[in-house]
Amino acid sequence: MPYADSHPLFERLRRGPILADGGMGTMLYRRGVPFDRCFDELNLSDPKLVQRIHLDYLHAGAQLIETNTFGGNCIRLSSHGFEGKVREINLHGVKVAREAREIEGTDALVAGAIGPLGKSLAPLGSVTPDEARALFAEQAAALLEGGVDLFIIETMSDQREMAEAIAAVRSVSRLPIIALMTFTDEGVTLAGKGPEETGRFLESTDADVIGANCSVGPQGMLEWIYRLARVVRKPVTAMPNAGMPRLVDGRFVYSASPEYFASVASAFLANGAQIIGGCCGTTPDHIAAMAAVLRSAPPVKPAPTVTVSPAAETAVPPAEPDEKGGSRFAQNLRKTFQISVELDPPKGTNPAKLLEGARLCRRHGVNAVNIADSPMARVRMSAMAVAALIERDIGIETVLHFTCRDRNLMGIQSDLIGAHALGIRNILAITGDPPSVGDYPHATGVYDIDAIGLTRVVAGLNAGKDYAGASIGQATNFAIGVALNPTALDWEKEEARFRRKVEAGAHFAFTQPLYDLDPLWRCLEAISRIRIPVFLGLLPLMSYRHALYLNNEVPGISVPAAILQRMEKAGDQGAEVGIEAARNLLERARPSVQGTYLMPSFGRYETCLRVIEGMNPASDHPVALPDSEHLRVC
């Protein structure tokens, strides 16, 4: 069955048409890569070249980009000697596209591109249907592992091959599928199927969006799309070539200009297409021309958004400081169960995707969003700037992660005073990942103080004095959060540090992501006399491989063997199992904690928010602080 319509693809389609990118192979060829080269392998050998093309399309206005994996199946790769690198090439194809999106700072969707196998299915060819499905599934699994937002199966001329590709993707994922057929100059597929018959076939499959790509130029596809759209209910996509190619001075040239594409963009939309883009011969200039047409189109009134609970939309009005200029988030900690969601700042200068994520969180009743400070020591937009933008433009409170890594003691205090002037009232005081783990391993970490010292600094500013005891005039009014790791290998050291943080002035604590509540019970029992609110950290698992990665490669995270076994058995339902497991932990822990701290994987806020589905986070029942008697009941 199709993916739930709360996925961003469908939310955007309800708001209006989506503009996809153009030809990847065309641009690689223009930049000197010969046609006999394996384009997909460039994800490994020259990822910067591929990334620059993605960036050019994003800058041109593309809202959906395809990974450079069209020929990333075992059969096509074997002709270049890369049959053993299917997973690696597809993983890196997604990585390059996602990084380009982060650099551009856009909320564009990343579609995992899957093309034909390159050999015909039996009886015309030697590939059996079962073999075809296995080959497609191998590629789809790697794309899923890389973190695609959806799949696009394209340039298929054989309905049987398309059916096997769709079934293969569905065997590993429930993410949306765009299924695109190709046809001849006569307006039929190679098997002689016209648009009506092809449309009915695609309508009957598990694809969510259908249509055509490649084939011919805009005019030929326009009629095809018109006829197909009249017999289907699913959203329709059109991605034509830039006309027919001709060889000029040893290079292939396509005749359809960007201006011509712009002139037919409105016609595609009027004739039933909801996603438009380009294929062979199209460039960022073609996409920019179509983007201009879409921008000038009359605005589309957004459709109602699916919310988690009936009260969620009105539960969190725009955040406003109280009369004393303090944090409403902090004031409510002892009154209502609070929910916070972590957002990572963009790698580039455009915060659009982040702001949309914050807006989605607010609509779903989230009380505050956490803004990470260059996590994993990778360069990102200033967390303070992002927090200020979110509070100003979205109207939801933020919890600003503040590290000791990048600033000396003077800079720390200056930035904290500046954050207060910008209206930020919640600080999470953390030491910060060392530069050696990030993009600049030779950079110098400052660490004049650690998280305990930082907590003391913020508490001092709340008292109206800097670290040296000098007056700063009007005191700040920060709510101070700290980290707490119930799964720490040296629990005695962790407990001692936590007590010192509280003594230094901490007001609340966020735990590391947990997948088992036994460490939480032990932790809360040990700190039962420290009466500050504790947030349960939850990072929903997306797949078995995701679980293995977190358990084995991320410090501080431990996934129990029983959960690993469940994720392995879940197969393509891994995300559902992960969400349900997180929801179960939250339900069991809720009487003992004062909030939850949700951390999305791959920036999929809508998936993460399903953990709180059905909750009314702003319910006004009292929230108990931990005490020994209560914990024994748990």
Strands 368-371 and 397-403: parallel
> 212's torsion region: left (phi>0), alpha (psi -120 to 50) or beta?
beta
Q: How far apart are CA 167 and CA 2, in angstroms?
A: 12
Cis, peptide link before residue 617, omega less than 30° from 0: no
Strand partners, 239: 213
Tokens of 508: 């609340």
Q: Please name every residue paired with 61 in a beta bridge, in sequence order, or none if there are none.
A: none
Query: Band of the pLDDT at 320, cuts 50, 70, 90?
Result: very low
Instruction: Sketch the domain layout of the chain as residue ranges.
Output: 8-295, 340-614
- The distance between the two most distant Cα atoms of the chain, rounded to a whole number of Å, is 85
pLDDT at 240: 92
pLDDT band at 331 (very low <50, low <70, confident <90, very high): confident
For 74-86, what is each residue's pLDDT tens digit? 999 999 999 999 9
Residue 412 near residue 457 (C-beta atoms within 8 A): yes
Q: From CA 64, how far away is CA 68, in angstroms rounded?
A: 13
In angstroms, the CA 583 to CA 596 distance is 11
3-state secondary structure string, 294-337? HHHCCCCCCCCCCCCCCCHHHHCCCCCCCCCCCCHHHHHHHCCC
Look at the domain 340-614 and name its fold: TIM Barrel (3.20.20)
Cα distance between residue 527 and residue 508, in whole Å: 13
CA pair distance 296, 452, nearest whole angstrom: 53
Average pLDDT on 577-600 reads 94
Under CATH, which architecture does the 8-295 domain have? Answer: Alpha-Beta Barrel (3.20)
Say if residue 258's pLDDT is above 60: yes
User: What pTM, to 2 d.p., does this model score?
Assistant: 0.66
- Band of the pLDDT at 347, cuts 50, 70, 90? confident
Q: What proportion of the chain, given as a percentage, has pLDDT over 70? A: 88
Residue 376 — very low, low, confident or very high, per pLDDT cuts 50/70/90? low
For 57, residues 6+ apart whose C-beta sits below 8 A from its C-beta are 21, 22, 65, 284, 287
* Tokens representing residue 262 in the block: 């712009």
**Lowest mean pLDDT across 90-104, 195-209, 529-543:** 529-543
pLDDT of residue 316: 28
Q: What pLDDT is attached to residue 253?
A: 72
pLDDT of residue 322: 37
List pLDDT tens digits, range 434-450. 664 444 555 667 788 88
- 534/593 Cα distance (integer angstroms): 5
Query: Is pLDDT at 604 greater than 50 in this prediction?
Result: yes
One fold for 8-295 and 340-614: yes
